[in-house]
Amino acid sequence: MHTVPMVGLLFFNNEGFECGGLCYGGRAEDGGCNAGSILAFDRYNQQDVVTVGYHEIEGRRFYGVTIFDRPEEPIAQLAAKVDVAMQLPEGPMRDEALNARARQSGTERMIMGRTPEGEVAVQLNDSKGRPRIRMLVDKDDVPRLEFLNEAGEVVYSLPPEK
């Protein structure tokens, strides 16, 4: 998969810190396109908490709104932890340190939009980012409401699974 160079605008708060932005890019590639755009609003001293975006890569498209929970710890402190982890030799200790930092950076809590599979969906995730409720209309126009357990397995569905 190739990435697209993005251009855009960054937003800054009264203290001069980046607090969101508008980015976009795209190009034709192998008879299709590789494109995307995003409008992001950051939490104070953190990363984005609300994004509106569009991504299309190798014929797969997603567009919609995503909401994140972000920690109280300023992003600069989290970035410093990544710098420390990157100094570790490659291996399990470094991988765990980087994974711990990723877990501390926040959680995707709600997604509303079109999935790469062609569904239109609203998905609510728990505090660990695991999907727990999905409301969707699939690519064949069949509506469905699903409740999932912690492992991501559907435990109840409307209409009921056959």
Per-residue pLDDT at 1: 44
**Residue 116 counted as domain residue:** no
Residue 43 pLDDT > 60 = yes
Both structure tokens of 130: 């695991």
Q: Which domain holds residue 96?
A: 71-105
Q: Are 46 and 71 in contact (CB under 8 A)?
A: yes
Instruction: Report the amino acid identity of residue 152.
Output: G
**Residue 5 counted as domain residue:** yes
d(Cα 22, Cα 42) in Å, to the nearest integer?
A: 12
Mean pLDDT rounded to a whole number for the chain: 89
**Residue 49 counted as domain residue:** yes
Q: 56 with 75, same domain?
A: no
Residue 6 pLDDT > 50 = yes
- What is the Cβ-side half-sphere exposure of residue 83, based on CA atoms within 13 angstroms? 6
**Residue 48 counted as domain residue:** yes
Q: Give the pLDDT confidence of 110-159 residue by residue, as tens digits.
A: 999 999 899 999 999 999 999 999 999 999 999 999 999 999 999 999 99
Q: 17 with 66, same domain?
A: yes
